[in-house]
Amino acid sequence: MTELLHLTEPALWAAALHDGAYTWSTRGRTLREEGFIHLSHPHQLPAVTRMLYGSEEIELIVLVIDPARLTAPVRHEAMTEGGEEFPHLYGPLPVDAVVEVRQWAARGHASE
């Protein structure tokens, strides 16, 4: 299984656990605003972190998602023509599709 990942803040994940689904697309934008939830493959996560958070010191977690548990489609799409494709989830992320939550270390590696 290829891991699908989503980088987020602990408080947003805690709210999702209460609500039963995660509905944040990316930093500061909801699924409703964006139309999909931004996901990553493991090799893409360091660049995504730099792009969204820069050198900002903030606690982050990585949601590890089992694609077989998703109820909405995932499409791989490039931000620019011919660019690298990223996975996008076109619907809410059910909390039971998250099989692991990892701390994201500032040095750019998820801890196990």
pTM: 0.89
Q: Where are the domains of the chain?
A: 4-104
Concatenated DSSP letters of 42-100? GGGHHHHHHHHHTT----EEEEEE-GGG-SS-EEEEESSTTS-EEEEESS-EEGGGEEE
Question: What CATH number is given for 4-104 in this structure?
Answer: 3.20.170.20
pLDDT tens per residue, range 41-92: 999 999 888 888 887 788 999 999 999 999 999 999 998 899 999 999 999 9
Residues 4, 67 contacting (CB under 8 angstroms): yes
Q: Which pLDDT belongs to residue 109?
A: 41
The percentage of residues in the chain with a pLDDT greater than 70, rounded to a whole number, is 93
